[in-house]
Chains A and B, each alone.
Chain A
Amino acid sequence: MRKLIIWLPVLSIILAIVVEVMMGNGGKHATTKQPYFLYLLAGLFIIFTTITITSYFNAKAKLWLKERDLFLAATFLFLNVLNIITKKLGLLPVIYFPSLDKIISVIVEDRTFLAICLASSGKLLFTGYFFGAIAGFATGIAVGFSNAASYWINPLIRVLGPIPATAWIPIVLISFPTSFSASAFLIALAVWFPTTVMTSSGILNVQNAYFEVSSTLGAKKYYQIFKVGVPASMPHMFIGLFNGTCASFITLMTAEMLGVKNGIGWYINWQKEMMAYANVYAGLIIIAVTFSILITLLFKVRDHVLVWQKGVIKW
């Protein structure tokens, strides 16, 4: 039985190919220049056949496949079903549910323009994220260590923090010189709040004994802040950064859909108004892939920095 299950992803792909080739196109979907869905399936077929065969003599491949064989098979089956109910049978409104061929064709044929949009979004996201995270660490550390800072800044955090960054759009867009700086500010604001809160609470939760020990070892105040307080609260800081990352994605998309005149969020909104839903889906797929890569990267950085507490906390 086990032997058969590892072949399920490949079988599922073959099934999709058979349906795609043998079944007639019932819906009124426009044909694309190339049979892109078939290309995709062929590519997947080659990849997964290779992996499955490799798994017979490579323990790593075997484990990788064993952990996700059923999920992969189900995913390919889902693509197959999607293909059947759109292009093959035309069960769903053609305009809102374009064929997979059409969506892939947008990604392939519009790739230069999509890349420009993605780059512009990326620039905006990183600018805002960078300044927001730096400001968040700075205020978090200040509030965590200084009573005066805590007295003056805490009320500000409590009042301004919970306001979603996107609620500032009407004011921010008119008070900044460019829509880029306005959106970068909003993203920074969205990242700043969770980073500040988690950093300061992380510092306040550091056991006092660590500071006491370090003072009997000869550490002065600033050394204690940066060599004891900061590393000890690093796990909290990463949770803040993670929350900030999610908030920054939301803010980026909203800002682009409302004000900024380029970027992937703007692209989706623009294509929606043109009723080009294949392009909307293409944009969504690109966002999903990019954001999930970014989150994975953040996880990798965290695993590297927090190697000392591996297995202690999990997200």
Chain B
Amino acid sequence: MVGEIKIAGVVKRFPQQDAPDVIALSGINLTIKAGEFVSLIGPSGCGKSTLLRLIAGLNGADEGKLYVDDEEIREPSYERGLVFQNPMLFPWLNIHDNVAFGLKARGIYKQKKTEVDKFIELVGLATFQKSYPHQLSGGMAQRASLARALVNHPKVLLLDEPLGALDAFTRMNMQDELIRIWQERQTTMIMVTHDVDEAIYLSDRVIVMTPRPAKIESCIEVKLSRPRARSNPEFLAMRSKILKILNFAGNEKEPTYYL
């Protein structure tokens, strides 16, 4: 199995004008096993997206190091695919060419042509090969951008709130789709999300982060068998546990009256 991520003492600062640096990450240590599905959850400003960008190689750490399979991360690579909240499909390419982009950029499109059709089919867009991004709905565009990242057979798939812009029903469908793809491909998945239910529903482990200073508060293993039921009592218990860590459980005041 490949795709193990090691994060060792990572610090990231954003320099400000006329103000002390913003510390986006303060000493993060984390190991993500190969083939694991991990969610990063926490309020805005906790550095979860920054951490994802460091793993992708889009930004460098100020201190500490990040490794994929013991190899240091220095720059972006097709081995670490990235999917944003906004699908960011190239509007000038149709769906087929969008998905084929990675293979063409790496100069291996001719040998792996069939992969493109395979992944478009995997995300259920076979009849939209020739459509342009502006002709697709939000959910379809996000599926296309998943296929675009997957066609490169990345060791790790980084998902930055991939379902954040979708309506509730499309979202639940896409969650099942993600699980299906993950089980089929065995790729390491790291997902940033704001949604506690989503994190529990999908992940092997939920990493809860807190801001100021931005750090990992706790790692919660989700030991529920898949497919998971959102109404399972253990699911709900885990949900309130995470909410409590995030201080969203509400004040434990005595109700003023009982029914």
Identify A209's interface contact among B81, B88, B133, CB under 8 A.
B88
Interface string of B91-134 (1 = CB under 8 A from A): 11110000001101110000000000000000000000000111
B152 within 8 A of A: yes
Identify A216's interface contact among B81, B104, B132, CB under 8 A.
B81
B172 within 8 A of A: no
B77 within 8 A of A: yes
Chain A neighbourhood of B78, CB < 8 A: 216-218
Identify A218's interface contact among B77, B90, B132, B134, CB under 8 A.
B77
Determine the distance from Cα of A312 to Cα of B134 in the docked complex, in whole angstroms.
Answer: 10
Determine the distance from Cα of A214 to Cα of B100 in the docked complex, in whole angstroms.
Answer: 12
B82 within 8 A of A: yes
Identify A213's interface contact among B80, B88, B92, B94, CB under 8 A.
B88
Q: A216-B81, A217-B81 are in contact. Are A232 and B105 (CB under 8 A)?
A: no
- Min CB distance, B42 to chain A, in Å? 22
Determine the distance from Cα of A220 to Cα of B101 in the docked complex, in whole angstroms.
Answer: 12
- B58's nearest neighbour on chain A, judged by CB, is A212
Determine the distance from Cα of A309 to Cα of B133 in the docked complex, in whole angstroms.
Answer: 10
**Contact of A219 with B105 in the complex, beta carbons under 8 Å:** yes
Interface string of B124-146 (1 = CB under 8 A from A): 00000000111000000000000
Q: A216-B76, A216-B78, A308-B134 are in contact. Are A228 and B90 (CB under 8 A)?
A: yes
Determine the distance from Cα of A214 to Cα of B106 in the docked complex, in whole angstroms.
Answer: 11
- Min CB distance, B148 to chain A, in Å? 7
**Contact of B105 with A223 in the complex, beta carbons under 8 Å:** yes
Interface string of B28-57 (1 = CB under 8 A from A): 000000000000000000000000000011
- A209's nearest neighbour on chain B, judged by CB, is B88
B26 within 8 A of A: no
**Contact of A218 with B58 in the complex, beta carbons under 8 Å:** no
- Min CB distance, A28 to chain B, in Å? 62
- A228's nearest neighbour on chain B, judged by CB, is B90
Chain A neighbourhood of B81, CB < 8 A: 216-217
- Residue of B90, B93, B106 contacting most chain A CB atoms (<10 Å): B90
B contact residues, total (Cβ < 8 Å): 30
Q: A217-B105, A218-B106 are in contact. Are A212 and B91 (CB under 8 A)?
A: no
B86 within 8 A of A: yes
- Min CB distance, A238 to chain B, in Å? 13
Q: A209-B86, A223-B105, A309-B134 are in contact. Are A217 and B92 (CB under 8 A)?
A: no
B235 within 8 A of A: no
- Decide if the interface of chain B is mainly helix, strand, loop or mixed: loop
Chain B neighbourhood of A210, CB < 8 A: 88, 90
**Contact of A217 with B90 in the complex, beta carbons under 8 Å:** no
- Min CB distance, A287 to chain B, in Å? 35
**Contact of B105 with A209 in the complex, beta carbons under 8 Å:** no
A205 within 8 A of B: no
Determine the distance from Cα of A232 to Cα of B93 in the docked complex, in whole angstroms.
Answer: 10
B149 within 8 A of A: yes
B182 within 8 A of A: no
CB within 8 Å of B: which of A186-231? 207, 209-210, 212-220, 223, 227-228, 231
Determine the distance from Cα of A309 to Cα of B89 in the docked complex, in whole angstroms.
Answer: 13
Determine the distance from Cα of A220 to Cα of B107 in the docked complex, in whole angstroms.
Answer: 11
Identify A308's interface contact among B93, B104, B149, CB under 8 A.
B93
Q: A308-B91, A309-B134 are in contact. Are A217 and B102 (CB under 8 A)?
A: yes
B67 within 8 A of A: no
- Min CB distance, A219 to chain B, in Å? 4
Determine the distance from Cα of A308 to Cα of B56 in the docked complex, in whole angstroms.
Answer: 29
- 22 residue pairs bridging A and B, Cβ less than 8 Å apart: A207-B88, A212-B58, A213-B82, A213-B88, A214-B105, A216-B56, A216-B77, A216-B81, A216-B82, A216-B149, A216-B158, A217-B102, A218-B77, A218-B102, A223-B105, A232-B92, A234-B92, A307-B132, A308-B92, A308-B94, A308-B133, A309-B134
Known: A215-B75, A216-B77, A227-B105. 13 other contacts (CB 8 A): A209-B84, A212-B76, A217-B81, A217-B152, A218-B102, A219-B101, A219-B102, A307-B132, A308-B91, A308-B94, A308-B134, A309-B92, A309-B134
6 tightest Cβ-Cβ pairs between the two chains A and B: A218-B78, A217-B102, A219-B105, A215-B76, A216-B82, A231-B92
